[in-house]
Chains A and B, each alone.
Chain A
Amino acid sequence: QVQLRESGPGLVKPSETLSLTCTVSGDSISYYYWAWIRQPPGKGLEWIGDISYSGSTNYKSSLKSRVTISADKSKNQFSLSLRSVTAADTAVYYCARNKWDCSGGGCRPYFFDFWGQGTLVTVSS
């Protein structure tokens, strides 16, 4: 069974960097896509970005200047770094596996089939 677990500080000061790690078990991050998604309290889901099996990344355009997603295949982990945070970045952050669809002559992200339990990150001084 694939399992994902987010870890990192639950409190970050404004203007500092939010750093989270997702540890994956039951699968290798050398396959599929691996995503970060967040949900502000009481609100909807927002895709932040992902990293592919080959190490290529995609980010939401409005966050692109502040976000980096990286992977450590030796530890089977991938990470999120969000710089210059404000209160608007307060949210539950989820990591998820984005399974691929390879039916069209190439592989593309398809659906999020496994999720971490989520971790609340509060931005406050």
Chain B
Amino acid sequence: DIQMTQSPSSLSASVGDRVTITCRASQNITKYLNWYQQRPGEAPSLLMFAASTLFRGVPSRFSGAGSGTDFTLTIGSLQPEDFATYFCQQSYITPHSFGQGTELVIK
């Protein structure tokens, strides 16, 4: 199975900050990397697919990069609604594994 490792596990930041979350796959997954946001008590929601394609309705302050094994999610200027947990997920092969999550908290 492909292991997905996110870093950091937790990140403290302020409104207006620029933050980057990293996701590493244990083997080459080409472009098949997705990012999700999960607010407390809610289901995850899709932010980005194919590493760098913004899902409809997602603000442009979110951006993604990477291919192969190393990927990043960047939030350009944090807004209050962005404080949530973020998960990466590979869809290259089954099982479609997720990273362990990065909790973004207000400093």
**A interface residue numbers (CB < 8 A to B):** 35, 44-47, 49-50, 58-61, 94, 98, 108-113, 115-118
Contacts and interface: CB of A to CB of B under 8 A. Distances in A.
Contact of A111 (B91, B98, B99): B91
Given A45-B87, A98-B96, A115-B44, 12 more contacts: A44-B100, A45-B89, A45-B98, A47-B89, A47-B96, A47-B97, A110-B50, A111-B34, A111-B49, A111-B55, A112-B89, A117-B42
Where chain A touches its partner, the secondary structure class is strand
21 contacts: A35-B96, A44-B87, A44-B100, A45-B87, A45-B89, A47-B95, A47-B97, A47-B98, A59-B95, A61-B1, A61-B95, A94-B44, A109-B94, A110-B49, A110-B91, A111-B50, A111-B91, A112-B34, A112-B36, A113-B46, A115-B43
Q: Is the interface of B mostly helix, strand, loop or mixed?
A: loop
A85 to B, nearest CB: 19
Given A44-B87, A45-B89, A94-B43, A113 B95 contact: no
Contacts of B94: 47, 50, 58, 60, 109
Contacts, number: 62
Interface of B: 1, 32, 34, 36, 42-46, 49-50, 55, 87, 89, 91, 94-101
A27 to B, nearest CB: 15
Contacts of B36: 45, 112
A98 B95 CA distance: 13
Contacts of A118: 43
Nearest to B95: A60
